[in-house]
Amino acid sequence: MSVRTLKGKRRWLALGGCLVWLAITFFPLYWVLITSFKTPIAVVGGPTYLPFVDFEPSLTAWSELLSGQRGQFFNTFLASTIIGLSASIAATFIGAMAAYALVRFTFRFRLLSALIFVAIAFGGFLVGRHVLGYGQGISLIYAFVAALALAVISSRFRLPGPELGNNDIVFWFVSQRMFPPIVAAFALYLMYTEMGKLGFKLVDSYIGLTFAYIAFSLPIVIWLMRDFFEALPVEVEEAAMVDNVPSWRIFFGIVLPMSKPGLIATFMITLAFVWNEFLFALFLTNSKWQTLPILVAGQNSQRGDEWWAISAAALVAIIPMMVMAGLLSRLMRSGLLLGAIK
């Protein structure tokens, strides 16, 4: 028994508080669940609370939903699943690689190289667009390639100015998360439209949305996985290095298997983020690759007060994440997640 354990009256007071919060947490979820089993008449007749006592449960809403009378639910569900899984797997993997590199290897470059990148990117775009008269898409591509090449080449030389290291790169990645997504979502929509004019269809496509999600999950993945890799004992890797095992085999053969709990937790957090994401899907899709949040949000304006149908639709978006929460809590109980959220 720890010294911090409450005793006597205080303990019951704390329990009471927790129970109140539990009721607040569960009531809305309970409400949406029972509403999805109500008949239209039962919904309009005013609030009822207990199945079989207050109202007779019926499967109307669910059978309508599953038989496809309520829009393309099956396709949307499939699109959400495919995009969610592939984006979070890719983000976890790419982010883990970057996080590992940032923990174990030394990166050094001058601030000036970064500034060169930004300057060439802006200047190149403006010059391409207004002086040379290229289209917006083409100028963007040229400016990007030129900026990247010059920045990389310039980092080979001994430039003056302050030197940046691993922590600055991590900070740069994580600070991406601070950006209001509307800044990127809107610009990305315009950029994708420009690419569409060049023949690459990115708006309302699998690639377009998945890449956007990978990019916006990477900061959080790198942040979480960096903490995780830092906690790993370095001795195992040093032993492998003595035996001349190449770095890529150390990473794929030793480090990744050792960090499975962290990878799973990070993957799940990323999946929840992608699954529930609204703004990017709103801007970047319109029909074929629309995700569940957009369809569910649309229910509201399309159906007015048909709460039985709306509840069933909302539950389709909720239930997969609840199942995942069950799995996540198992991980938490075994204490595996502690390292990842510290």
Partner 1 sequence: MTRNDPIKHFFIWPALLIVLLISIFPLVYSLTTSFMSMRLVPPTPARFVGFGNYIDLLQNPRFWHVAGTTTLIAFISVGLQYVIGLSVALALNSRVPGEGIFRVSFLLPMLVAPVAVALIARQVLNPTMGPLNELMTALGFPNLPFLTQTSWALGSIIAVEVWQWTPFVILMLLAGLQTLPDDVYEAAALENATPWQQFRDITFPMLLPISVAVVFIRLIESYKIIDTVFVMTGGGPGISTETLTLFAYQEGFKKFNLGYTSALSFLFLIVITVIGLVYLAILKPYLEKHK
Footprint (CB under 8 A) of partner 1, residues 294-323: 294, 296-297, 299-300, 305, 307, 310-311, 313-315, 317-318, 321-322
Our finding on whether 171 is near partner 1 (CB under 8 A) is no
CA–CA gap between residue 296 and residue 313 (Å, rounded): 6
- Three-state DSSP state, 311: helix
Token pair, residue 63, equals 């059978």
Our finding on whether 333 is near partner 1 (CB under 8 A) is yes
Our finding on whether 104 is near partner 1 (CB under 8 A) is yes
Binding pattern to partner 1, positions 9-48, x when CB under 8 A?
-xx--xx-xx--xx-xxxxxx-xx--x-------xx-xx-
CB of 300 to partner 1, least distance (A): 6
CB of 3 to partner 1, least distance (A): 4
CA–CA gap between residue 181 and residue 172 (Å, rounded): 16
Task: Report the Cα–Cα distance between both ends of the chain, in Å, rounded.
Answer: 24
CA–CA gap between residue 148 and residue 155 (Å, rounded): 11
CB of 276 to partner 1, least distance (A): 4
Torsion of CA 194, 197, 203, 209, to 10 degrees: -60
Q: Which residue has the tokens 């569940």?
A: 292
Q: Which residues contact 132 (CB under 8 A, 6 or more apart)?
A: 139
Residue 22, exposed/middle/buried by CB under 10 A (0-12, 13-18, 19+)? Answer: exposed
Give the total of residues touching partner 1 (CB under 8 A).
113
Give the nearer residue to partner 1 in terms of CB position, either 206 or 251.
Answer: 251
Token pair, residue 259, equals 């960090």
From the list 53-61, 71-79, 217-225, 259-267, the region that binds partner 1 by CB under 8 A is 217-225
Binding pattern to partner 1, positions 141-170, x when CB under 8 A?
--xx---x-----------------x--x-
Our finding on whether 224 is near partner 1 (CB under 8 A) is no
CB of 161 to partner 1, least distance (A): 20
Scanning residues 236 to 295, which ones bind partner 1 (CB under 8 A)? 246-248, 251, 272, 275-276, 278-279, 282-283, 292-294
Total residue count of the chain as it appears in this document: 342
Work out which of 66, 85, 94, 111 binds partner 1, going by CB under 8 A.
94
- Three-state DSSP state, 34: helix
CB of 106 to partner 1, least distance (A): 4
Q: Is 204 left (phi over 0), alpha (psi -120 to 50) or beta?
A: left
Work out which of 79, 83, 87, 103 binds partner 1, going by CB under 8 A.
103
